[in-house]
Structure 1
């Protein structure tokens, strides 16, 4: 902690919004902060010889246990009042460190926002050394967050909606095999609105990015729906051109 001023780029941090999809719910991975009731987004500092992308990948690997993560930088947050100096000062005291006013942790920090898309079942949530828990939370059940992390989360969701036709969001969040209702629920959850079932199915099929498998989803009370998978080559090509039409 005391050597951080020599190791890390001064005044620069990053925060990551990690999205997962499970039980037809969009979830966000959060950390329960030590010595506070607040939850926070996973984040960290940037080593002086490290790129932003490398720093974000490192933080995400430590929090999720996954190496190959889809990652997008989406915004920079630079409000002069965003840093919680009181929290950091109290934490330093608990560690037995009497910090001067110019201690590196008490300076103003500009943070770079990244969002990540992960397959829920592949993640092993792991706390860092400033937190006591690391858990998935349903997007709509998230309460108060640390500092400006609610603003960061809201901006990430806004970006996700804007990029729905240009990034492999369905491919990254869904399992390898999924039903059309599950795909529709994912889109509805991200967009925050209901979509007509027939129009959605017709539109997704028109893109030519899905393969309908011979398997069906067993166990429901109704007729078992067919399983689908993405044709990755066609999906990537379609995203380069942009899936046509707004939602």
Structure 2
């Protein structure tokens, strides 16, 4: 019923926009429509943690993958690469990595630069309470992405956060986001994240497929098969020792 109500709301918004001579909606209107489409502000504020399981495709191979995120901008990524683990975590202030295949056989604390991209990955969408959280939404020219017209919205803050989202003009969900990598081997490169296959999970709409590209080359493809909302997590899982 909630999703049906949301669809009627979006239909009404679409008709209203057409009645205004097809004026492009403002960044705030786009953000509000997006949040409503994926479940609504209150539903997302109630989310304290998520766990997403699936596979990561790299170099023509696929590896089991689990990503856990939690409020406070915490994150844990685990990959099983041919029996060898790769784990990367962020506890809200500090990043850690364990990657035996690259010679990191003991948990290592990442430098601020190495963890810069992790620090710029907010748990709660920037389109929720944007202004109160210090985010500025600016309209940018949309572009056609794989045949789909989009609206562009640039999100920035005074601390250097800078990401541009491209929203499908019909569904009002982002199908691509781009940002300049702030650290590691990718520093200075424009990274594009493509999102698709949105599915409903406990009344929330979540993209079950993501692909990251840089310079037109695919870096990683992520296919999620299971998503858990508000799983039990401990702060210790975001720190490697």
Give the shorter-chain TM-score range: under 0.3
Q: Which has the higher contact order (CA 8 A, sep 6+)?
A: 1
Which protein is bigger by CA-based radius of gyration? Answer: 1
TM-score, normalising length: structure 2: 0.23
Which is helix-richer, 1 or 2? 1
TM-score, normalising length: structure 1: 0.23
Which is strand-richer, 1 or 2? 2
